[in-house]
Amino acid sequence: MAAVTHFTIEKEDCKGAQAVKKLPLRQFAPLLIAMVGLPGRGKSLLARRLSRYLNYTGDNTKVLDISDYRRKHMEKYASHEMFRADNLPAWRLRQQSFREALEDAADWLQKPGHHVAILDGPNVSRSQRQEIYDLVYGQLGFRIMFIECVCEDPTILERNFKDILQYSADYCGMATEQALTDLTYKMAHYKAQYESPSLGSHWELPCPMVKLLDGGYGGIVAHGVTGTKESKILAYISVPKPSQQVIYFSRHGESEFNLIGRIGGDAPLSPRGRVYSQALAKHVHALNLPALQVWTSTLQRTKATAANIQAPQLHLHELDEIYSGDCESLTYEELQERFPRELALRDHEKLKYRYPQGESYVDVMQRLVPVLTQLECETNVLTVSHQAVLRCILGYFLETPFDEIPYFHVPLHTIIKVTLKGYNYTMETVKMPIECVDTNRAKPTNCSVNRSSEDALLTVPAHLDSLSNLNTLTPCT
């Protein structure tokens, strides 16, 4: 798994053990995050979001959901009775699930290149939290951080409950009314067992503790935060993010450079690209989105594409296309002629390959982080950007494996709708009926630096030789 930032620790060791008192240095050790909170307080959504963000920004992260372990031990979820404090066999099963998840988290953190494990579950009792602390901090010498989700806002609670009824594996197939009653009882059982960790001098353990109120909308209280990972996590979770979210994306309309197969540059739209710009505005206006915003790059093809949309607009350098440095404005044929070795190296490892004096996909992913974290807080934003940039953005929301991001299919003249459903984002596309070229060049089979020009150019999409051939194009629809 490639990492956007390269934050790694080789090992810890101690010199002169016999002579001086040594403390193990654990400033950069792996980190376990333990969630704390009643059901329906937004723990799982937060855990998945945090995991998505940490993975994208170079901290290899895994979520371990205690309820998944519990379900492994049950044929099928029966009822809330299993969460009663006085149901001893069920309590044992829940304890066992907790321990299995915790041990798997600890195992996972011990493997090289693994940075953060998130133990997602209620962890409502002091003794459970003490057990987590003793194993992860005491025995393994790792770092630990607790995040408690407290929520009293009835609107947020109601929405969270609806999400649980809709998306939880426990309630899959159960009638809505029955499920709602069951969830209400389950909540009551957990409330009875809940020993809320308090903060300040009374927080029960000597490690960082963050209390998030009403999903962040009610503020945040943190104590004992140390460490770069922990403060990065605090920053991420302190900004509230909506639990209902729809965001839209589009590439710019077909540009003159698209027509003639040139990469980069700052070309104007083609006649068909201008038609797309009209169609996009019409489509978006018909959606009647409240508080619609448009974000574009600073290049003229995205600005022109969004120009007809009646909404406030932001133009951000971060959304500019991947900068291909010395290779800007070339066709693939010219690239192969002038930089055959570069083209082969790029095909070999497109994610990390950096154009001479230009950028790599990893560079683009990195410069997008502030925009992505802001976008996560918004709804009804239409982002008009470019092929490589949208690959990186969609790769973030859809958690695409890094190596597949540079090959994500993002065609021209297509509106992409990304919706948060449960803990994950889903994607839908609407292809506008306006002809355009295909700019997607698939990975060639032969990526060797000694390959023939024919092999190198095998997957280059068809394009015009020059703009004077415009009349050979399929007419606009």
Residue stretches of the annotated binding site: 251-258, 301
Q: Are 254 and 387 in contact (CB under 8 A)?
A: no
Nearest approach in angstroms of CB 29 to its own copies is 10
The CA distance from 332 to 444, in Å, is 13
Nearest approach in angstroms of CB 389 to its own copies is 14
Question: Could you confirm whether 252 is annotated as catalytic?
Answer: yes
Task: List residues forming the annotated binding site for substrate.
Answer: 251-258, 301
Task: Give Rg (Cα) of the chain.
Answer: 26
Within 8 A by CB and 6+ apart from 44, the residues are 35, 65, 120, 423
Run of H or E residues at 60? none
The CA distance from 147 to 234, in Å, is 9
Run of H or E residues at 431? strand 424-431
The CA distance from 271 to 476, in Å, is 8
Nearest approach in angstroms of CB 339 to its own copies is 13
Q: Are 276 and 411 in contact (CB under 8 A)?
A: no
| Closer to its own copies by Cβ: residue 325 or 411 | 325
Phi, psi for residue 425 in degrees, rounded to 5: -100, 140
Exposure string over 279-290, b if 16+ CB within 10 A, otherwise e: bbbebbeeeebe
| Closer to its own copies by Cβ: residue 100 or 318 | 318
The CA distance from 439 to 67, in Å, is 45
Nearest approach in angstroms of CB 219 to its own copies is 4
Active-site residue, from 100, 131, 204, 337 = 337
Nearest approach in angstroms of CB 206 to its own copies is 13
CA distances to 199, 311, 385, 418, 466 from 382, rounded to whole Å, are: 41, 10, 10, 10, 32
Question: Could you confirm whether 177 is annotated as catalytic?
Answer: no
DSSP state of 442: P
The 10 Å Cβ neighbour count of residue 157 is 18
Active-site residue, from 189, 252, 386, 413 = 252
Nearest approach in angstroms of CB 77 to its own copies is 37
| Closer to its own copies by Cβ: residue 134 or 152 | 152
The CA distance from 153 to 373, in Å, is 24
Cα 416–422–380 angle (5° rounding)?
A: 40
| Closer to its own copies by Cβ: residue 25 or 74 | 25
| Closer to its own copies by Cβ: residue 16 or 173 | 16
Q: Are 9 and 28 in contact (CB under 8 A)?
A: yes
Strand partners, 211: 148, 221
Run of H or E residues at 184? helix 176-193
Strand partners, 210: 147, 222
Q: Are 32 and 144 in contact (CB under 8 A)?
A: yes
| Closer to its own copies by Cβ: residue 286 or 462 | 286
| Closer to its own copies by Cβ: residue 300 or 440 | 300
Are β-strands 246-251 and 414-421 bridged in parallel, bridged antiparallel, or unpaired?
A: antiparallel
Q: State the residues that interact with its own copies by CB under 8 A.
A: 5-16, 19-20, 22-25, 27-28, 199-200, 216, 218-228, 230-232, 234-236, 238-240, 291, 293-294, 298, 306-307, 309-318, 356, 367, 370, 373-374, 377-378
Within 8 A by CB and 6+ apart from 161, the residues are 40, 180, 183
Nearest approach in angstroms of CB 27 to its own copies is 5
| Closer to its own copies by Cβ: residue 109 or 210 | 210
Nearest approach in angstroms of CB 8 to its own copies is 5
Give the residue numbers marked as catalytic: 252, 337
